Amino acid sequence: MTDKYAVIGNPVSHSKSPLIHKMFAEQTGQDISYEKIESPLDGFADTTAQLRGDGYKGCNVTVPFKFEAFQLCKQLTGRARAAQAVNTLRFENGEILGDNTDGAGLIADIEQNLGCKLLFKKVLLMGAGGAAHGVIWQLFNAGASIVIVNRTLDKAQLMASEFTSYGTVFASSYEGLAGKQFDVVVNATSSSLSNKLAPLPKGVFAPGSLAYDMMYGKQTPFIKFAREQGAAIASDGLGMLVEQAAEAFYKWRGVRPDTAPVLAKLRLQ
């Protein structure tokens, strides 16, 4: 019997997750289906309840429902609890179990696929929403020190205060970055979705630095700016997407797929 999974978001039509999980299933011999579900903005809990009622085994959660998914869960992994956001749900024994695989996906892509070790690196994390919450704990775990920058300084300060017990973290406005340089700059804002660039000052990219945009599928204004500013590596988030999906697949199926051929195929599309 085929086990059913899905990704829930709004919007979700652009998602490559069904294709990725199809390739994982073929590679590992798992009998699953995986589809896109667009939930009304005010209907995430109802959508999740309907999937559970229809016998789905789990789902991924994308923008803008990761904080709401966190609230739904009866059980949480340590990394989901630290992130206070959930992107992977497993339905088991009448309960909803929550995990967050975003941070693990980001670290795997940066350290393994792009060859940039994060130990002792100065990281600028752009944004203070669900995407940033999902990765900050894993960045600390990898040994980075972090500055959170956000258009609304209060939000950056609040987020920094939530994570001071995990590592070295500061909050900043974009104006406050003038004259500072970072080894790694991660764009976790939604600016690339609307083809805009957050107001990064010139000079933020240190020599040999990595610029990483969680958005994928096109040359974003952030990637273009990073290259103009001398970033040694400028990457989109396709690798993170594949790596976090592999982590979710492993949570659901107990089998870890090989991400390299899947990522290579997606890059050719």
**What DSSP element (H or E) covers 4?**
strand 3-9
Tokens of 231: 């970033």
What is the Cα–Cα distance from 33 to 192, expressed in whole angstroms? 30
Q: By three-state DSSP, how is residue 248 classified?
A: helix
In the set 4, 66, 74, 117, the catalytic residue is 66
Tokens of 29: 């011999």
The residue assigned the tokens 């003038």 is 178
Tokens of 195: 């083809």
The residue assigned the tokens 């998602």 is 15
Q: Give the β-pairing of 182-187 and 205-213.
A: parallel
Task: Identify whether 155 is a catalytic site residue.
Answer: no
Contact 225, 200 (CB under 8 A): yes
Give CA 211 to chain center in angstroms.
Answer: 15
Cis peptide before 40 (omega within 30 of 0): no
Q: By three-state DSSP, how is residue 61 classified?
A: strand
Query: 60 forms bridges with which residues in the sheet?
Result: 7, 88
What is the Cα–Cα distance from 15 to 43, expressed in whole angstroms? 19
Sign of CA dihedral 38, 44, 49, 52: positive
Active site residues: 66
